[in-house]
Amino acid sequence: MQVGHFNKAMSKGPHTTSWIWNLHDQAHDFDSLLQDHSNTRSVATRKILSSTLAHLSVILLWLSGMHFHGSYYSNYSSWLRDPKYRSAGCHLVWSTLIGQDILNDTLSQDVTTIRITSGLFHLWMSQGIASCTNLKPCALTCLIATVATLLGSYIEMHNNSILERSLYMHQVTILLGMASISIAGHQIHIAVPTMSLLDSGITYNQLASIPTSIDLMNTILVYQDDLIRSIIPTFGIGTGIDLTLISGNQTCQLGSIADLLNPNTASIFLGTIAFHHLMVGITLILASLCSVIFIRSTIAIHTIELIQHSFSGWHVELAVNLRLTATISIIFAHHVYTIPAYPFISSSYTTMTCLFSHHIWIGGFLILGAAAHRSIQIIRNEGLYITANQLIYNQADIILGHLIWLTIALGLHSFGLYIHNDALESLRRQEDLFSDNGIQLKPLLYSQLYPVMDTEMLDDKLITSTQELGTSDFMIHHIHAFTIHVSVLIMLKGILYNRSSRQISDKLELGFRYPCDGPGRGGTCQISPYDHIYLSVFWMYNSLDLVLFHYFWKMESDVWGTVSYYKDVISHISSGDFSNHAITINGWLRNFLWAESSQVIQSYATSLSGYSLIFIGSHLIWAFSLMFLFSGRGYWQELIESILWSHHKLKIMPHTQPRALSISQGRTLGLTHYMFGGIFTTWSFFHARILALTS
């Protein structure tokens, strides 16, 4: 294939390594690659839809692989027998080369595999999957869908846009609503009866020995009238909704979290989830019908014109959807541990940490993507700037000025509290610290929002706990407010000043990504919209890392633990040390980061040694990023020129000439290593710590 085939100008130039990096940052830049095309919007739409279907096929193939490997290599069937105390595992590592079988963990008397913490078993259980046999049709269905989406991607790329002409937004909304109702039907007819049988104490072996069928799902479907009514007596009687499916009681008085949770699984009743999907489906269908009626009315003309001016173009549509998805992801991260949706998932502390961290990171990256695409849209669509958002851009200085004042105030006061505590603690003046035993700083509104202190348990394990917040919580929440506001400030500055600023009035002519202005304007650097996203990634990393550290330390200190019914004593994992030591910077370093990293550092020669290797390797990747972030392009180009000179001297002519990364490419590569190094370091630290203490 011709080097630089995706760009006519590049394909005619010299063969250099730059095309590799340009392929990554320009492959989906359809606007700039199709500027000379007569029908740019139509071609870009076709390529975007084709790319979307191709990405969807990758996700479906991934799901198919998970169900396939779960059906053949996991301990799901044995896990179903005792999900409270058995751990999920999949794949046995062979000892053929270097003794890597040490990664296997003994999960029960009859199972030795790699421990998994993704929560798949809990998800399958909530779907009514009662054996590994049921996973095989799921894997086959996902595989068929993978082939179908790949075929659709090929047709969409090489033919006229079929989907764009055949599907409208209200039709897609109706399809989503019908899919949600279908999920509700599956929950009611399959998942709820299966879960009811498991709750009643019936084991997996007894489920498999039900007469006339070895497959529970087929049994429930074929013998619905008799079997489901024997499980749920009021099923199918009348047209009303059975309240016992939703809350487990006839009155359905949901006054606290305890009323929402099934006492047998410490999760939301599956009937509640089914009712949720039913209501979502009905809402989507009604919203679609209302939108069609509204569009056809005369009142909607001006509104539609305003929306078209404000949200015209793929970039702004993507930005809006990224924001919505990020919001949903962050909300789910906080609800997954306060109101668990999957059976027995709250008893697996590692899985809860994994899900919380995963969705928090996803939310942060999607918010950055929304800011980036919003900047691109404003730069490339002049009409958007002139019509819809002119008022906002006229007030850009006022908005950013207030944000700057707010972040300075938050930074001085929040970090000032920690500096005060560290200074006085070093002088042994404990009585003058901001703490629960000294000068108290407690949230005023929290006690009124959550007046009832509540604790939920599953056998002898603590699941959730609503408790009074103290001074340490007050201080760290203000640090969260500071880091989040700084991230928002940088992203907003990149959006509001991406066309012009008081310093540089013609930034619009320079585009989205440019490194430096050079000496003509004083050598100003990092003023492009891209550089604002680049800087905000670091602050997003700071914000979310603090959120994760706060979550993990708070949960193991004040929530997670065991209950001794004989001694009537609650024992937390770290014995409630958060309130005592999280009031100083030294406490965060000494009692949390350094003391609790002992498990991951000392895990060699155990089944957790893989986490230790990831921990060390991620530190190396993180340190490697600084080489790209600290050194400029000229440094690398001089090294490359010396290597080229020696090649020419030895009559060795490389076909593809090496070129140094541009400034923007170097920053991107350094940032990528920085983020992945930090994320995997945190991930391995959490997993090794909690698995070592709770396994």
Per-residue pLDDT averaged across 263-277, rounded? Answer: 86
The reported pLDDT for the residue numbered 360 is 94
For tokens 């008081």, name the residue: 502
Give the percent of the chain with pLDDT over 90: 26
Q: Which residue has the higher pLDDT, 20 or 162?
A: 20
More confident residue, 175 or 26: 175
Whole-number Å distance between alpha carbons of 543 and 363: 12
Per-residue model confidence (pLDDT) at position 543: 93
- In this prediction, residues 431-452 reach a mean pLDDT of 79
The answer, yes or no, to whether residue 4 has pLDDT greater than 50, is no
- Give me the pLDDT at residue 450, please: 64
CA distance 112 to 498: 56
Q: Which of 256, 248, 263, 269 is nearest to 459 (CA)?
A: 263
Looking at the predicted structure, is the pLDDT value of residue 215 above 60? no
- Between 274 and 252, the more confident residue is 274
| High-pLDDT (> 70) share of the chain, % | 77
Please determine, for residue 551, whether its predicted confidence score (pLDDT) is greater than 90.
Answer: yes
Each residue's pLDDT tens digit, 340-395? 889 888 888 999 999 999 999 999 999 999 998 888 888 876 545 455 566 677 78
Task: Indicate the pTM of the whole model.
Answer: 0.87
Higher pLDDT, 330 or 397: 330
Average pLDDT, stretch 213-236?
Answer: 56
- Three-state DSSP class for 632? coil
CA distances for 632 relative to 163, 516, 531, 639, 658, angstroms: 46, 12, 15, 12, 16
Mean pLDDT of 66-84: 87
Confidence band of 252 (pLDDT split at 50, 70, 90): very low
Per-residue model confidence (pLDDT) at position 88: 86
Cα–Cα dist 358/350, whole Å: 12
Q: Which segments of 158-269 are extended strands (E)?
A: 261-262, 267-268
Per-residue confidence band for 50, with pLDDT thresholds at 50, 70 and 90 = confident
Nearest to 88 by CA among 601, 527, 691: 691
Residue 207 pLDDT: 54
Q: Is the pLDDT score of 22 beyond 60?
A: yes
Query: 603-643: per-residue pLDDT in tens?
Result: 888 888 889 999 999 999 999 888 888 876 777 777 878 88
Q: What is the pLDDT of residue 1?
A: 42
**pLDDT band for position 68 (cuts 50, 70, 90):** very high
pLDDT at 457: 79
Q: In the predicted model, what is the mean pLDDT of the chain?
A: 80
Q: What is the pLDDT of residue 251?
A: 45
pLDDT at residue 2 in the model: 45
Instruction: Work out the average pLDDT over 134-151.
Output: 92
Task: Find, among 54, 70, 65, the residue nearest to 143 by Cα.
Answer: 65
Question: In the predicted model, what is the mean pLDDT of residues 492-510?
Answer: 80
Lowest-pLDDT range of 255-259, 289-293, 626-630: 255-259
Q: Report how far Cα 164 is from the mean position of its chain's Cα atoms.
A: 29
Q: What is the DSSP string of 419-443?
A: HHHHHHHHTT-GGGSBSTTSB----
The pLDDT score that the predictor gives to residue 213 is: 37
The answer on pLDDT for 65 being more than 90 is yes
